[in-house]
Amino acid sequence: MNRYIILLTCIIIFACGKSSNPSGEYPTDEIPTPKEEVITFKLESLEGVGYFNAVLKFTVTAGNKNIRSRGVVYSTKESPTKEDELVLAASTTGSGSFEVQLDRLSEGKTYYVRPFAEKTNGIFFYGDQQKFETVSYPEPTVYLDSLTFLNQQTFETYWKMFYPWGTDHNGSARMYEGQVSLDGAGMLKIKADRTEVWEGYSTADPWLRIFYHSGAIHAKQQILVNDERPYWVVSGDFKVPTMVGSWPAFWITGAWTWPPEIDIMEFKGNNTNWQNTVTGPDWQNTSWQTTKTVVENAGSWHNYKLIMYKTSATHVAAELYIDGQKKATHTGDFVGKPFWLIINMQMEGASGGHASGPQSAEMQARNIYLAAYDVIP
């Protein structure tokens, strides 16, 4: 019996030690995978590089099979990967060419870019690194900044009291120097106080009776869009009253004639901000472009901004913003026409009240900014 067991064991050992593939072929799980064809790229063009964008065109020169996606990866650091910024091709062709548009860049930065292609099996191939630099903003000439309200000395260096033409305008307030004050930390206040003392009538249309002492200031630097200064930025932060009878404003008006005028911030007795652009050959023939925006909590800080730039030999575009959001683009034939910049608190008139306005009202201003560029960014 033991002799038969030994013989059977030997047969089993012999069978296990012998190849199960006498033909010499590999078992299925041992067949070597063919080497993946490498994808190579060629940069065809790098164009449209601006402040925030660029357009790159590549061609896949080898390995243009079984590609699931293609595009670029980019970073401000060298050797970017898909873990950095990744943008898919905006368009492709059957020849393997593709175009990528980058539009979330920062101005004045160096970017490193590598084309990529992903095979249907998930393998990524990267091409050679490319490098480019976005356009830097030109340096502006800054005429006013947050320091001009820091103290009396800086204020008097850059600003003058009242309107450029005097103390009266189109409401029932007459401007007095004592109604304007600085808080010592870069903020200006203008307060309007009601008075029953007879002071006559305003010397400006519509010649209302004077019921208020208030304040107005204007910048010494005029604004002039021309070939030497084709692009201007005017901006400021304000807290304003919105009760009936209060009429705060931040605006520019013609230094030679009226019109022109652009109202950057103007509240007329409620929480609707008026942004107006006035054009026309003279004061009797005017055309108004008006954009109205309800500003919640106008008594809290909000930013109001104008960007004005030359679009032709005679005309400008006036982009108007509130808290960084563009509200309108107006146009006007303002090239070569100087402007005054004014901050004031007028009362009644277009804001209502009519001899029954509030006892007092106050507006606050800070971070006034005025700058010009010698090129259009």
DSSP at 223: B
Q: How many CB atoms lie within 10 A of CB 320?
A: 26
Contact 345, 248 (CB under 8 A): yes
Strand segments (E) across 245-284: 246-254, 261-266, 272-282
Candidates 44, 139, 261, 296; catalytic one:
261
| Residue of 358, 367, 371, 369 whose CA lies nearest to 248 | 358
Give per-residue pLDDT as tens, 16-31: 444 444 433 433 444 4
Tokens of 317: 């575009």
Give per-residue pLDDT as tens, 285-312: 999 999 999 999 999 999 999 999 999 9
Amino acid occupying residue 167 = T
Asked if omega into 259 is within 30° of 0 (cis), the reply is: yes
> What pLDDT was estimated at residue 218?
98
DSSP at 15: H
Give per-residue pLDDT as tens, 262-277: 999 999 999 999 999 9
DSSP string for residues in 72-86: EEEESSSS--TTSEE
> What pLDDT was estimated at residue 6?
41
> What pLDDT was estimated at residue 22?
41
Rg for the chain (alpha carbons), in Å? 36
From the number of C-beta atoms within 10 Å of its C-beta (0-12, 13-18, 19+), residue 250 rates as buried
Q: How many residues does the chain have?
A: 377
Candidates 25, 156, 266, 362; catalytic one:
266
All domains of the chain in start order, with CATH: 40-133 (2.60.40.10), 141-373 (2.60.120.200)
Contact 149, 368 (CB under 8 A): yes
| Residue of 174, 273, 267 whose CA lies nearest to 215 | 174
Stretch (H or E) spanning 156: helix 152-158
Give per-residue pLDDT as tens, 310-331: 999 999 999 999 999 999 999 9
Q: Which residues pair with 251 in a beta bridge?
A: 263, 342
Rounded CA-CA distance 312/141 in Å is 22
Whether 266 is catalytic is: yes
At which residue do the structure tokens 């230094």 appear? 255
> What pLDDT was estimated at residue 34?
55
Contact 176, 213 (CB under 8 A): yes
pLDDT tens, position by position, for the chain (377 residues)? 444 444 434 433 434 444 444 433 433 444 444 566 889 999 999 999 999 999 999 999 998 888 889 999 999 999 999 999 999 998 887 778 999 999 999 999 999 999 999 988 888 899 999 999 999 988 999 999 999 999 999 999 999 999 999 999 999 999 999 999 999 999 999 999 999 999 999 999 999 999 999 999 999 999 999 999 999 999 999 999 999 999 999 999 999 999 999 999 999 999 999 999 999 999 999 999 999 999 999 999 999 999 999 999 999 999 999 999 999 999 999 999 999 999 999 999 999 998 888 999 999 999 999 999 999 98
